[in-house]
Amino acid sequence: MLLSLLLSLLGLTSLALCIPALPSLPPSSAVAIPYNLPNINTNTNTAPTSQQPGWTQLCTGNSHDGVCLSVHSLDNTCTTIAAPVKFNVWSITQHKGVFCTYHEKDDCSDKHRYTLDSYSIDKSSQLTDAHIATKIGAVRCHESKGLTATKEESKRTTALSPNILASPGRLVLCPDADFRGECVEINALNICVQLRGAIWKHVYSMIQSPGAVCYFVADDGCNITMPVLIVDSKKSQGEVNTELKMDRAERITGVMCGGRA
């Protein structure tokens, strides 16, 4: 019996020696995919990925489609836009709570090409001017004063105009350059609004909604025949942003919006 067992084992060993070796496989051609790729997608109508202020979605299509990229900027930090959206921004969806300036230079050191204020609601904008859409390479945002205004500032704003949320005729007036400081929102459509507080004789930057011609004056009666400044946004497709020098900024005491210039 022992002899039979030994013969069986020898037979299995011979069989194993007869099995040909497997051919060697070529080296793997797989490529490791980095886990930190930029958040680029082609979803056509997707809101920014976060519900916190500072998130903005930029798209290569003018209907918030094409290739879209979500970027984040807050506290006045400058965020560079990645390719292929960089210099190809035709539509913007900006989450509420911030005022953003869009620049050509990566460090945002140049004068902004476009601005958007989404202080109380999400804002969407379509860019139709190639001189703007193909020049946006970075974005810088800070918390919007419209959202963070104190109760006292809100009362003062309401006192200036009862139709604060109406448009056209809506204005955001700021006492500092680059749309900063204690900015006040008013609506001066067909009414004379006398400025008060920080913006009285101190309007260094302003945002005007489309659809009206606004006359900025240096008298209490809104004498539009002798205006300090006229801003026409009747045919504008978006907000008109203006920065003023001292010779005009420190003369404006009132504004009225309405008919043609």
pLDDT in tens, 182-224: 788 888 888 888 888 888 888 998 989 888 999 999 987 788 8
Omega cis (within 30) before 27 = no
Whether pTM > 0.75 for this model: the answer is no
Element (H, E) at 232: strand 229-232
Is 80 exceeded by the pLDDT of residue 157?
A: no
Check if the beta carbon of residue 256 is closer than 8 Å to that of residue 224.
Answer: yes
Per-domain boundaries in the chain: 40-144, 149-258
Contact (CB, 8 A) for 71 and 38? no
Other C-beta atoms closer than 10 Å to the C-beta of 252 total 23
Q: What is the pLDDT of residues 26-43, one digit of tens each?
A: 443 333 333 232 333 333
Q: Taking every pair of C-alpha atoms in the chain, what is the biggest distance, in angstroms?
A: 126
Question: Which CATH class name applies to 149-258?
Answer: mainly beta
**Domain 40-144 CATH class label:** mainly beta
